Structure 1
Amino acid sequence: MTQFTDFNFKLLVIERLMYADGTLTPRFDLGSHLVEQGLIEDDGDPAYTYTVRNGLSHQVVPVAREYFEALEISPELLASVEELVLDGGLRVYFHCSPVWDGEDDLYDVRSLDDLPLLPHLKRIRGADDFWPPEFLEVLRKRGTATDG
């Protein structure tokens, strides 16, 4: 099984494969998952209700973290990733933190140690706006384009 060292970097990859490309299945839906696990009734917005009732606003809901941490991604799927996008509105973030407002560092990537897992990565959109200069230099040396 492929191991990621940075959970937030893994989420960027999951966003690409599961929500953008649709190649990583099944597509995780926090609300449906909570209902299926018997953790809450379907009230129309179970993810939001569960998050608020359990005081989990502005953090990763533990069952979502457990799901995504355990999620296996094959080397073949990883090799298909050519582009990642950094954006506070990613769907994977909603399924981790339905009440998150994007105004803190909850999903900041802290390490680029997982870059070798993506041998065909060509571009990271948004990196110039969100990542520190030392990360941009690593990408430049690797030949991975950014928006700049």
Structure 2
Amino acid sequence: MIINGTSLAFPLSLKDIEAALGKPDQVVKRDNKFIKYIYDNTGIVFEHSFSINNHLKKCKTYIDEEHLISTVFLYYGDFVKSMTGEKELPKQPCQAMVLSDGKSPYFFSDRHRVGDFNLILWTPYGTNFNGIAETITDTLSISYFPEIKHERESYKLKETDEELLHFDNINFKLTIIQVLMYDLRVLKPYFDIYDFAEEFSEEEIDTESIEIIQPALEYMINLPIPKKYAEQVQEIDMDGGNEIYMNLIPQWDGEDETFDLNEVGVEELRQFPNLEEATIMSSNFKQVKAVFDEAGIDVELL
């Protein structure tokens, strides 16, 4: 990424950014979740995410704990407007021109992937954008998220005599799959929707779907998860960009309640003795929080 003639190689540190833009006008910290560096007059926000470090280590692009800035938010429009209810915003909208390989990026349902970067247009709820974005009027996020190389494995489910975890709520099971399969990489096989589509022969699978791919969801419903992995789950961090969701709805914009955790049982939670905290997406947070409280797990709304 080149800003003001300065080339920035991701993942970034604050020093890297200051070399191009000077010191930020605002610094916002949220526990151990993120630090936001806000540039008021340029309409740009950089986000230092503590949760990205494991992914970077898996991709062998991790440098140190200072280089965890992986996302840039460009607040376009006639005035600065919030995307997801965030209160700390730059004072002026962004005027920068965004080009990918010298061209305006092409979006499909608000999404675009170029190299190791994911681009998302944060269009108003219930709408999306398809085509070449020559003029951008909505907030644009650019996230450094390199792909993890993995070996192709068969998706044929095997019977096992191992003791298994039990789930009554699929959206809770999906959060556990995210931790074990994508974050910790202990649950096999590593599910990739493109590999799955090639192996799945009963019908053609649309790998650019904006709706849930039912055969993929059925796979997750039936996927056995050995109980021996339960003690490795220490934290749940639900996010619209989680790999599990991108492999079920490849073009999901994260703006609806499809994967909200609105129901979970105390016994489901108590299967994980080391689970201490969770950040969840939910439209029924008050009732779900009561269940987490009963299980002795700290929970907060994304």
TM range (shorter): 0.7 to 0.9
Higher helix share: 1
Do structure 1's residue 13 and structure 2's residue 180 form an aligned pair? no
The alpha-carbon deviation at position 147 of structure 1 amounts to: 4.8
Do structure 1's residue 133 and structure 2's residue 296 form an aligned pair? no
Counterpart amino acid of residue 89 in structure 1: G
Do structure 1's residue 35 and structure 2's residue 198 form an aligned pair? yes
The alpha-carbon deviation at position 131 of structure 1 amounts to: 5.5
Q: Is the 8 A contact 2:262 2:284 kept in 1?
A: no
User: Which residue of 113, 116, 128 maps to 2:270?
Assistant: 116
Q: Is the 8 A contact 2:292 2:298 kept in 1?
A: yes
Q: Is the 8 A contact 2:262 2:285 kept in 1?
A: no
Listed as ranges, the gaps of 5+ residues in structure 1 are 52-56
Q: What are the Cα deviations for residues 95-129 of structure 1, in whole angstroms up to 9, with x where unaligned?
A: 011121111110011212121222221110246x8
Q: Is the 8 A contact 1:17 1:24 kept in 2?
A: yes
Q: Distance in 2 between matches of 1:61 and 1:79?
A: 30
Q: What are the Cα deviations for residues 70-91 of structure 1, in whole angstroms up to 9, with x where unaligned?
A: 1111111122211111111110
How many pairs does the alignment contain? 135
- Mapping 1:75-114, distance limit 5 Å: 75-113=227-265, 114=268
SS of aligned partner of 2:207: helix
Structure 1 residues 131 and 79, CA, compared in 2 at 3 Å: closer, same or farther?
farther
User: Which residue of 177, 195, 207 maps to 1:47?
Assistant: 207
Q: Is the 8 A contact 2:261 2:280 kept in 1?
A: no
Greater relative CO (CA pairs within 8 A, separation 6+)? 1
Identity %: 27
Listed as ranges, the gaps of 5+ residues in structure 2 are 1-163
The alpha-carbon deviation at position 130 of structure 1 amounts to: 6.3
Q: Is the 8 A contact 1:6 1:110 kept in 2?
A: no
Do structure 1's residue 63 and structure 2's residue 226 form an aligned pair? no
> Which range is displaced more, 86-95 or 116-125?
116-125
Q: Distance in 1 between matches of 2:165 and 2:280?
A: 25
Q: Is the 8 A contact 1:7 1:69 kept in 2?
A: yes
> Which range is displaced more, 136-145 or 22-31?
136-145
Q: Distance in 1 between matches of 2:247 and 2:294?
A: 33
Normalised by the length of structure 1, the TM-score is 0.80
SS of aligned partner of 1:125: strand
Return the index of the structure with the highest Cα Rg.
2
The corresponding residue for 2:21 is none
Q: Is the 8 A contact 2:257 2:283 kept in 1?
A: no
The alpha-carbon deviation at position 40 of structure 1 amounts to: 4.9
Structure 1 residues 64 and 110, CA, compared in 2 at 3 Å: closer, same or farther?
same
Runs of 4+ in 1 over 3 A off after TM superposition: 38-41
Q: Is the 8 A contact 2:230 2:271 kept in 1?
A: yes
Superposition CA RMSD, Å: 2.2
